[in-house]
Amino acid sequence: MSELTQQFKQFAAEHGAALVGIAPPERFADWPAEHSPMSIAPEARAVVAIGLRITRGTLRGNEEGTNFNTYGVFGYAWLDSDFVSLTTFECAEYLEDNGWEAAPLFPFPTEAYPQGIAVRKGAPAPNVYPDFARVAVACGLGEIGINGDLLTPRFGPRQRIQLILTDAPLDPDPLCEEKVCRECLACAESCPLGAVSVTEFDELTVAGKTMRVAKIDYAKCRVCQNGACPNKYHAAGRPDRLGAICNRTCVDALEARGAVGNTFENPFRVRQPWGIDATGQLVDVPVKPMAEQLDKERE
């Protein structure tokens, strides 16, 4: 690893980054111009994904159904807009202090495109934004799971990502070889609205890495009362589902199977989860705490 890359990663870690991944421009060669990071900074030599964890305790109030505000701020609003963005900005400053241009990017939703007209022939209209989960895969941080969200070997679905596009010659990271999603479908089975298909899947390829993703009815996620939040940047964007029962079930499923590096003394899910259907009524969720389920399978 070059000295610059090593020192940059060390700086990022010392300034709060739990995850750093670097992709070369070639990994985006087949991306449409309107969603390619390379359209924003054509001279960039590296795309950097920086992630901070959603702490497991941030999900506790959602899991118990007793406090949604903690996740709303420490897991979503502040985490993204204050904590991840501060680390990302400091990392951009580090690169610029060393003579390299660094453009930071926050996760504005791709669904809100376009927002203006193209200013030169062959250029896409503004505002170009890539899908951040896919960029994170291209940067080697993890994979897209059956649930349609980024899963990393360290935190499963518990992280938020921002990006830096830079002309610094940073060394790329390899794609993540580890299979994180166990394709257990527990996320789909736990959804009280049936938004995640258990029979229909799409194949998604990013930088040559192919993943299987369930067909997801995001219209249902938009009205979900099980811990989902509206997209905070634009109404057209996909809702935030990381605190919803589907992803909390994934957290429990991955931990119970020893599939994530960030481990805990006690299981995440300690009682039967709650669920609310499309009419706003409490319903039974046909998913038990995973530790309990696995104990039964072992008997």
**Which one of residues 50, 150, 195, 213 is an interface residue with ligand SF4 (CB under 6 A)?**
195
At a CB cut-off of 8 Å and minimum separation 6, what does 139 contact? Answer: 21, 22, 23, 47, 48, 49, 173
> Smallest distance from the beta carbon of 64 to ligand SF4, in angstroms?
16
Does 41 interact with ligand SF4 (rule: CB under 6 A)? no
Instruction: Considering the complex, state which of residue 84 and residue 246 has its C-beta at the smaller distance from ligand SF4.
Output: 246
Closer of 19 and 221 to ligand SF4 (Cβ): 221
Q: Of 228-287, which residues contact ligand SF4 (CB under 6 A)?
A: 228, 241, 244-246, 249-250, 253-254
Q: How far apart are CB 146 and ligand SF4 at their closest, in Å?
A: 4
Quote the tokens at residue 101.
């241009």
In the chain, what is the greatest distance between 2 CA atoms, to the nearest angstrom? Answer: 66
Q: How far is the CB of 77 from ligand SF4 (least distance, A)?
A: 17
Our CB check for ligand SF4 shows the closer of 27 and 158 to be: 158
Name residues contacting ligand SF4, limited to 114-153 (CB under 6 A): 145-147
| Choice between 47 and 211, CB closer to ligand SF4 | 211
191 binds ligand SF4 (CB under 6 A): yes
Q: Is the peptide bond before 114 cis (omega within 30 degrees of 0)?
A: yes
Is residue 211 within the footprint of ligand SF4 (CB under 6 A)?
no
Among residues 15, 45, 56, 182, the one that binds ligand SF4 under rule CB under 6 A: 182
For ligand SF4, give the closer residue by CB, 147 or 162: 147
Q: Least distance in Å: CB of 182 to ligand SF4?
A: 4
By rule CB under 6 A, what count of residues binds ligand SF4? 27
Q: Which residues bind ligand SF4 (CB under 6 A)?
A: 145-147, 181-187, 191, 193, 195-196, 220-221, 224, 226, 228, 241, 244-246, 249-250, 253-254
